[in-house]
Amino acid sequence: MDEKEKINIIKQIQDSKIQLCISFSGAGFQFLNDILKLEGASKCLLNADIPYSKESLNQNFQIYEPFITRDNTKKLAMSSLNKFSKNNSTNLIISIGCTGSLKTYYKKKGDEKAWIYFLTSDKQEYCFYLEFYRDLEKPLTREFQDELINGMIMTKLREFINNNYKFYAQTSSESKTIKVDSEDIATIHSGPRE
């Protein structure tokens, strides 16, 4: 997603009736960076939590290993939604939880992946799971992985606004392969997957 498209989506979010709460651990940080680098962030961003360490996840969110699961990501989103939806009756709040394990400096035991979970103050839910491939001709960088997550979050928010503040119906069997230069780099799975 190019910068112009991102700016257009951020302005659309700012001009909409939604306000955002985000809780990201391990991935998704480019989204927060993009929201904050454009003037007017206070029109749409209520709160951002970044529980990055195991201790923070344990103590502040009661999230334990394995960290990167659908349920834990929903728990992050629910925590922010619960904090802010009680006192807000004018706007629709979307709380976005993201947990991820992206490329790092040491050899990973597990997969490079991320969960993204959307919860709204009018009781809507939408989630997806992104699984990055590792044995690629040109290995993915952490920055690229996080930018892909960023683009997917922005795209989902734009769809939500354009669909009259509704998420499209979701089934548990949806999956899509993401390609770059004709090479498969990741699979996105919509709906429940553990």
Looking at residue 192, its pLDDT comes to 54
Looking at residue 106, its pLDDT comes to 78
Q: Are 30 and 147 in contact (CB under 8 A)?
A: yes
Confidence of residue 57 (pLDDT cuts 50, 70, 90): very high
pLDDT for 49 beyond 80: yes
Tokens representing 194?
A: 């553990």
Q: Read off the pLDDT of each residue in 6-25 and give the average, rounded to a whole number.
A: 96
Fold designation for 3-190: Maf protein (3.90.950)
pLDDT for 53 beyond 70: yes
| In the chain, domain spans | 3-190
What gap in Å lies between CA 144 and CA 65, rounded to an integer? 26
Looking at residue 96, its pLDDT comes to 98
Give strand ranges (E) for the chain. 18-25, 45-49, 92-101, 112-120, 125-132, 175-180, 183-190
56 against 138, higher pLDDT:
56
The full length of the chain comes to 194
Dihedral sign, CA of 88, 80, 141, 182?
A: negative
Q: Is 116 left (phi over 0), alpha (psi -120 to 50) or beta?
A: beta
Tokens representing 139?
A: 């290995």
